Amino acid sequence: MGWRRALRLCLRAANVLALLALVLVFAMPFFWMLSTSLKTLPETMIFPPEWIPSRPVWENFSTAWNTGPFLKYFVNSVVVAVGILILQMLTIVPASYAFARYRFAGAKLLFSIVMVTLMIPAQLIFLPVYLELSALKLLNTHLGLILPFASSAFGIFLLRQAFMQVPEELLEAARLDQASEWKIIVRLMVPLAKPVLVTFTLFSFIAHWNDYFWPLVMTTNETARTLPLGIAKIREVEGVATWNVLMAGNLILVAPILVVFFFSQRHIIRAFVYNGVK
């Protein structure tokens, strides 16, 4: 029995070491970005690189912020990311409920079409979307950046799977209490699928907060440009590869994502172990 206990301890130690190694792999780029953002420009050129700067240069953040209208970029990013998320919630929740709980003619075909859209890259359809938004005079506007993402096939798929795990008996009991379909969605289905909704919220927010392609295509001036375009502008303004200032700008870009993830990680974990209503 002693050798079995020793084997379990060895396996547990190996598991802990593997997890630490995995954390290190994912944490290293963030630590490197933070380290570089606090260095002077000559320190960024040293080889082998120094992980800890001799004297932190906090002015890099103010330099990055002042290279352009960063406050405007930040507000634009918030408006676009949150606006997209609100519209997606308004579309994917009823659509997922309909696909999960209703049987109607063409349901499988319609859901298949939704799934097919997952395989269509945005770069393939940006030209007709651009021409349509241009005809509607929505270029260089927040609405022009929001409308192309008013729904999400991935969100519909994810939420449909969660809704399908809710027992039919709960819905029947709610209908016997004369609850309307909208009340069932809002009071029953959405709370039960909260971990999945929070997970999708995080995925959507990160995707559109970091989006560079669509804002670049749909804007030609500073009116509605977002933070990723502002970060890319740092190199243009400085004229040389000032990696310390560029990394400081990237930290400004990443900080809101880290905050959102910190407050939603518990729900994300629950979403991955969600197996139905207990």
Q: What is the pLDDT of residue 275?
A: 46
Asked whether 71 and 52 are in contact (CB, 8 A), the reply is no
Kindly tell me if the per-residue pLDDT of 237 is higher than 80. no
Half-sphere exposure of 42 (CA within 13 A, CB side): 2
Mean pLDDT of the chain: 83
Q: What is the pLDDT of residue 276?
A: 45
206: tokens are 């990160």
Mean pLDDT of 161-174: 86
Asked whether 115 and 157 are in contact (CB, 8 A), the reply is yes
Residues 6+ apart with CB under 8 A from 267: 194, 195, 198, 199
Kindly tell me if the per-residue pLDDT of 265 is higher than 60. yes
Mean pLDDT of 146-153: 90
In this predicted structure, which of 115-119, 141-145, 156-160, 240-244 has the lowest mean pLDDT?
240-244
Mean pLDDT of 80-88: 94
Q: What is the pLDDT of residue 168?
A: 85
Kindly tell me if the per-residue pLDDT of 277 is higher than 50. no
Give the pLDDT band (50/70/90) at residue 240.
Answer: low
Asked whether 176 and 184 are in contact (CB, 8 A), the reply is no
Look up the pTM and report it.
0.82
